[in-house]
Structure 1
Amino acid sequence: MEPNPNPRVLVIMPAWNEAEAVGNTVREVLTTNTRYDVLVVNDGSTDATAEEAAAAGATVLNLPFNLGVGGAMRAGFKYAQRLGYRQVIQVDSDGQHDPRSIDEVLAGLAHADISIGARFAERGDYKVTGPRKWAMQFLAKVISGLAKTRLTDVTSGFRAANERAVTQYLDHYPAEYLGDTIDSLVVAIRSGCKVTQVPVEMRPRQGGKPSHNPLKAAIYLGRSVFALLFALTRKPTKLTKPAVESVVA
């Protein structure tokens, strides 16, 4: 039996040891718009992430061990499909993604299958330097060519998808390092999904520890290039539904 189309929006939050921030983030999302449902995918946390998320009003999906963002998002997409959600959006549980920008990112789905909340699009003051900056610029240039539209922030996790994109993600959504952003986007584009971006402002983490440190930043460029090359070798999934038109942000 096919799920009935759900007019509500599913906000998926992958969370690993984010007890310090996840509760406030969930509450902020739920008070921003009454049509949002929040699913926190507890990715094998060893702290009180699940308890804090549930107390704040989220539905919590507990994974038995840490799978990484890619594995957590794949679980979230399966949940969305089974309950018939037409639109989903990934929001970081650490509070960096401003819930007030969710509707702006979702609006991009009127013209595309995937809408990215972009940090480097003439809005906000988010900055990166060194290898991470070089990697992001290189990746944005290459993937913009594939998508045939200007993209400035292809590693952003603040990303919305419609039913068509979710179907593609379920066939191919990698769990490798950087795969959840770079690999998934490249294969989606090659499968016929249209992509757009919406300028947003990012905030500092509201708690917990950042995922990037100097060592990770030093090797980011090499891993990013590897992830891109690997993505280009993957076999795309051919979608049968007609594509929507793409726009340039």
Structure 2
Amino acid sequence: MKKLIIIPAYNEEANIEKTVTAIQRDAKDFDYVIINDCSIDRTREICEEHGYNIVNLPINLGIGGAVQTGYKYARKHEYDMAVQVDGDGQHDPEFLNIMAEYIEKNQVDMVIGSRFIEKKGFQSSTARRVGIKFFSWLIKGLTGATITDPTSGLRMAGRNVIALFARDYPKDYPEPESVVAVLRKGMTVREIPVVMHEREGGVSSISPKKSVYYMVKVTLAILIERIRKY
């Protein structure tokens, strides 16, 4: 089974070396590609100094465009599985083999690493947890599926989802919306418990000022995704 780790990175000079080192230590059966989303810090320089496998985008596409680039890469190179691991060090590569084994054993299309099943490790802020519960409720109401951590970026996809995401992927705050897209296509999504870490450096893309916009935008996107035709 060919397995790929997609690492979207924008201004992750403080974290990218530690992220790749952890992957090389704990996920040796995986290939990886860093999608440098036109960073304006030393992210590209650090990657090239260390000889990391990197794709440098010519313009900033945002998280959705960067992740979709990774899925296009996975489809082009005929990977059987692809998993998103954020470049900020929050996702622990120790869980990747467990996720891959779950997909193989249970023949599911996507596995999400949820921090809320066993509630260990970094649980995010109170405000964000409220937002996450709202999206869980919304997805449950629209699809019937219970997803405890719909905003988790730690998601492993099989070939069917790779093909879907390479063709069509949300551009802005994509995680909840893309889960609905997978479920709408009749594919199977499951969650397993993982432990996540707090960001050690850099800045989150969702600032307090953007939180209201995030909630409104993602809610509308999920509702539109539920009714739109492919």
**TM-score of the pair, normalised by structure 2:** 0.91
Given the alignment, which residue of 168, 173, 181 partners 1:172? 168
Equivalent residue letter for 1:133: R
Query: How far 1:196 sits from its partner (Å)?
Result: 0.3
Q: What is the 5 A alignment of 1:125-164?
A: 125=121, 126-130=123-127, 132-146=128-142, 148-164=144-160
Q: Distance in 2 between matches of 1:20 and 1:113?
A: 33
Instruction: Report the CA distance between 1:146 and its aligned residue.
Output: 4.9
User: In structure 2, what is the equivalent of residue 247 of structure 1?
Assistant: none
Q: What is the Cα deviation at residue 72 of structure 1?
A: 0.7
Any gaps of 5 or more consecutive residues in structure 1? 1-6, 237-249
Q: In terms of mean alpha carbon deviation, does 187-196 or 88-97 score higher?
A: 187-196
What count of residue pairs does the alignment treat as equivalent? 227
How far apart are 1:171 and its partner, in Å?
2.4
Which residue identity lines up with residue 90 of structure 1 in the other structure? Q
TM-score for both structures, normalised by structure 1: 0.84
Change (3 A) 1:16 1:70: same
CA gap 1:109/1:57 in 2 versus in 1, 3 angstroms: farther
Provide the identity percentage.
35
CA distance in 1, matches of 2:205, 2:192: 24
What pairs up with 1:4-83 in 2 under 5 angstroms?
Answer: 7-83=1-77
Matched with 2:80 is 86
- One-letter amino acid matched to 2:225: A
Q: In the aligned structure 1, how far is the partner of 2:222 from the partner of 2:164?
A: 18
Q: Structure 2 CA distance, aligned partners of 1:77 and 1:19?
A: 23
SS at match of 2:2: strand
**Alignment match, 1:203:** 197
